[in-house]
Amino acid sequence: MILTQLAAPPPVHFAVNPLDAQSLLAAFGTIGIAVILFAETGLLIGFFLPGDSLLFTAGLLCAGSAASPGRLSLPWVLLAAAVGALAGAQTGYLLGRRAGPAFLARTKSRKISDGAARAAEILQKYGYAKAIVLARFLPIVRTVLNPLAGILDVPVRAFTLWQILGGLVWTIGLVLAGYTLGASIPNIDHYLLPIIALIVVISLVPVAFELLRSRRAHRKKSA
């Protein structure tokens, strides 16, 4: 029996699901939070990354028991989330000022094109302050609006001020919401999957409303 146990070591899993917040946190930990949020808010190729569910799940894991192997440190998670989100948005803005128009002209991604159109509409409708802050809570839009703000020559000071404010509200708010829920429910780790699924659905609700609104507006124009 001893020989059998030695010959059959436990399997090691290397695969990481970039769409699964729990998988990303298990693989990369706190540093991964900063890197993933930077990619989602600063690089157009990161529009598919799960920013909302990542932040909320990280907050849940901060509230886990001290003996839990996946437990994270709340101060470090808050710092990593803020640094990644703020640095990413500012980088996206600078990239937009330099190379954004050429990229948008060449891209074949419908999601990026639609996100750019919606981000431009939000900037025009709400103005710099509201648009930049609200975009943080809209998947895809928060990825595209930053470089688009650079393309449209939004003043550096205005963009920096409002992206910092919006980024802090978004990151700290979701992390603390997850932490509060985790601290109030014993053994919250057992419910991670359904909670993450719920967060994903909630984060997509604004996008669904915007798609319906766009289709209705398009139909009215066609009529």
Q: What is the pLDDT of residues 41-99, one digit of tens each?
A: 988 787 787 788 889 888 888 886 544 555 788 999 999 999 999 999 999 999 988 87
Is the dihedral angle over the CA atoms 13, 50, 25, 189 positive or is it negative? negative
Q: Which residue has the tokens 């891209």?
A: 107
pLDDT reported for residue 183: 82
Count helices and strands in the chain by DSSP H and E runs: 8, 0
Mean pLDDT of 191-204: 62
pLDDT reported for residue 160: 95
Q: Is residue 133 within 8 Å of residue 165, measured between CB atoms? A: yes
* Intra-chain end-to-end CA distance of the chain, in Å: 76
On average, the pLDDT of the chain sits at 77
Secondary structure of 68-137 in HEC code, one letter for each residue: CCCCCCHHHHHHHHHHHHHHHHHHHHHHHHHHHHHHHHHCCCHHHHHHHHHHHHHHHHHHHHHHHHHHCC
Q: Is residue 75 within 8 Å of residue 54, measured between CB atoms? A: no
Q: How far apart are CA 129 and CA 199, in angstroms?
A: 26
pTM of the model: 0.72
pLDDT reported for residue 163: 95
Q: How far apart are CA 129 and CA 24, in angstroms?
A: 32
Mean pLDDT of 11-35: 67
| Tokens at 123, concatenated | 């900037």
Share of the chain residues as helix, strand and coil, in percent rounded to the nearest 5 = 80, 0, 20
